Chain A
Amino acid sequence: MLAFLLRRLLAFLATLVAASLVVFVVLEVLPGDPAQVMLGIDAEPETLEALRKQLGLDRSAPERYFAWVGGLVRGDLGVSYTYSVPVAELVGERLVVTVPLALLAMALTSAMALALGVYAASRHGRPGDWGVMLFGQIGIAVPNFWFAILLILLFAVRLGWFQAGGFPGWSAGVGPAFKALLLPAISLSVVQAAILARVTRSSVLEVMREDFVRTARAKGNSRRRTLWRHVVRNALIPVVTIMGLQFSSLLAGTIIIENVFYLPGLGRLVFQAITQRDLVVVKDVVVLLAALVVTINFIVDLLYLAIDPRLRRAA
């Protein structure tokens, strides 16, 4: 058990290091001269020289890598070139939008998917099941940003219940801020819920065929009690795996969805940084997003142990 945890922890740290190396090599080494990339080909030589100095390009690549990673660990992310403020400050402001958005979307996803998936499995082969499967197929085929535009079209343009985009900030009160995140969260979650509902359904169906389920029924448990106490709990392992993977696609999805709704989150920050060629911000935010994803996958691994005692013994 302890050995397993240590192995997982090592793999987790190794992935973090690998991610930071890839980002560093792609953005700092491959372009040759990052300062040139940031300023464009017709930059003044003096400006180029000043930026090279500011970025510390006179030092060797390994030196710069360790200085950067050391800064990341201390929470010093450098200074944004276009905004001229510390990147840590920028990221802090943006996290309070992206994290609540992703959490809200994940909560909506899980609620919808578990309800639909278990419902479909308990109605296996009947119209209710087909309905959920149809929703699943359509949900997977619809791009989340198009769904977001359709939601804006209906709820903002036609009905006027919501703003078409923007974020009032948490200082405007929890209610308005939450309202601004609701449509984005729904557009992120419907697609993910469609996938997760299918996984839940097939996992529940799989477990329903197990012998212990028949035993539970034979002992006089009601259908409902067997389903929720015995089947769903055992069916959760693959569901949690997919949920972990989905959290990463949710985070990635925020890059597009925040742009659809003009939300000042991390996704919009990284996108703006790319169009402004602010490599300092791109590097930091991409590593941060990758670290979030890797951390979530690590937590998912630990969650298995909490859900399934058999794995604890095997580990």
Chain B
Amino acid sequence: MKALRHGSFVIGAALTALLVATALVSLVWTPWSPTAIDVMQKLKPPSAQHWFGTDHFGRDVFSMIMVGARNSIVVGVVAVAIGCLSGVALGLLAAARGGWLEEAVMRFSDFTFAFPAVLSAILITALLGPGAVNSIIAIGIFNVPVFARLARGAAKSVWTRDFILAARAAGKGDLAITVEHVLPNVLSIIIVQATIQFALAILAEAGLSYLGLGTQPPYPSWGRMLNEAQTFLYLAPTLAIFPGIAIALSVLGLNLLGDGLRDLADPRLARRR
């Protein structure tokens, strides 16, 4: 298999599988309960009982990271799905119809781009209050223009191809052509982009939770674990290490997977790089 010889694809797929497996296992098993408080055991360094040590409430850090993986995946998947579905629809519509509609979609994406994601997330949490759902909405909205631009650009080049003309001659309308011919041809680059946006969503969620605007206690999230760890840097420095490694490995895995998928989907790009 060609894919198995592609370095970044293999490493990326392995790291992503590790992330998903951790989240799945955490549904049925964690070494300790991630919310069980045991003050006698607080701020312990890593040991045989508590592999990554314990936090200031004596909760098991390893278990919290396992459950945090679930949180990251849920936020990432939903946020990317929101952005991808509405963004791709907008982009395809813009490419199919052209004219003022296309102009409006493009101006809208330019504008959303000019607005830093963290700012819009902060605006939304200022309006709706902090929480996991609101951070998902905020990250999702930021994803819309990314997919809208990408889908429009790719779809426009498909629309100039001869088989579109043939489909037109066969009497198909804009909608049928978009669904049957354009979408399948732009799908691979959208999947690649979705992987990368997934990684960005994990980073964004971690940032928002670090600020206290994302997932709320007692539900564990990697970003908030880092926030709490900062208070105890002098007493328990390892607390600040593990959640960060979890975030970095997940993001690295998804980015490598995205790079690998892109190369496999379009070998010309791989050779040019």
Contacts and interface: CB of A to CB of B under 8 A. Distances in A.
Interface in A282-315: 282, 286, 289-290, 293-294, 297
Given A141-B199, A157-B234, A293-B116, A274 B125 contact: yes
Nearest to B108: A18
A260 B244 CA distance: 14
A142 interface: yes
Nearest to B213: A274
A149 B230 contact: yes
Nearest to A156: B233
Interface residues of B, number: 41
A277 B126 CA distance: 7
B210 A256 contact: yes
Interface stretch (A44-52, A91-99, A174-182, A244-252): A244-252
Interface string B206-241: 110011110000000001001001100110010010
A119 to B, nearest CB: 17
B122 interface: yes
A286 B212 CA distance: 19
A59 B165 CA distance: 57
B210 A138 contact: no
Given A26-B127, A164-B233, A202-B273, A137 B248 contact: no
B111 interface: yes
B111 A289 contact: no
Contacts of A252: 116-119
Contacts of A146: 206, 226, 240, 243-244, 247-248
A145 interface: yes
Contacts of B229: 149
Contact of B119 (A142, A275, A279, A289): A289
Contacts of A260: 230
B244 A153 contact: no
A255 interface: yes
B233 A137 contact: no
Give the interface size bracket for A toward B: 35 or more
A157 B237 contact: yes
Contacts of B119: 252, 255, 286, 289-290
Contacts of A245: 113
B203 interface: yes
A137 B255 contact: yes
Say whether chain B's binding surface is mostly helix, strand, loop, or mixed: helix
A138 B113 CA distance: 25
Contacts of A157: 233-234, 237
A91 to B, nearest CB: 15
Given A146-B248, A153-B233, A141 B255 contact: yes
B118 A255 contact: yes
A256 B118 contact: yes
Nearest to B252: A141
Given A249-B116, A260-B230, A149 B240 contact: yes
B114 interface: yes
Interface in A134-149: 137-138, 140-143, 145-146, 149
A30 B128 CA distance: 10
Given A19-B115, A26-B123, A157-B233, A143 B244 contact: yes
Given A143-B247, A146-B226, A271 B122 contact: yes
B116 A256 contact: no
Given A26-B127, A271-B211, A149 B233 contact: yes
A275 B213 CA distance: 9
A31 B127 contact: yes
A150 B226 CA distance: 11
Contacts of A164: 233
Interface centre among A15, A22, A137, A149 (most CB of B within 10 A): A149
A-B residue pairs, 7 tightest by C-beta: A252-B116, A146-B244, A141-B252, A141-B251, A252-B118, A274-B126, A141-B248
Given A146-B244, A202-B273, A274-B122, 19 more contacts: A15-B111, A15-B114, A31-B127, A137-B255, A141-B252, A141-B255, A142-B244, A143-B206, A145-B206, A145-B210, A146-B248, A157-B234, A245-B113, A248-B114, A255-B211, A270-B122, A275-B212, A279-B126, A297-B114
15 contacts: A15-B114, A19-B114, A30-B127, A141-B247, A143-B244, A145-B210, A146-B240, A146-B248, A153-B240, A164-B233, A202-B273, A248-B114, A251-B116, A256-B118, A274-B213
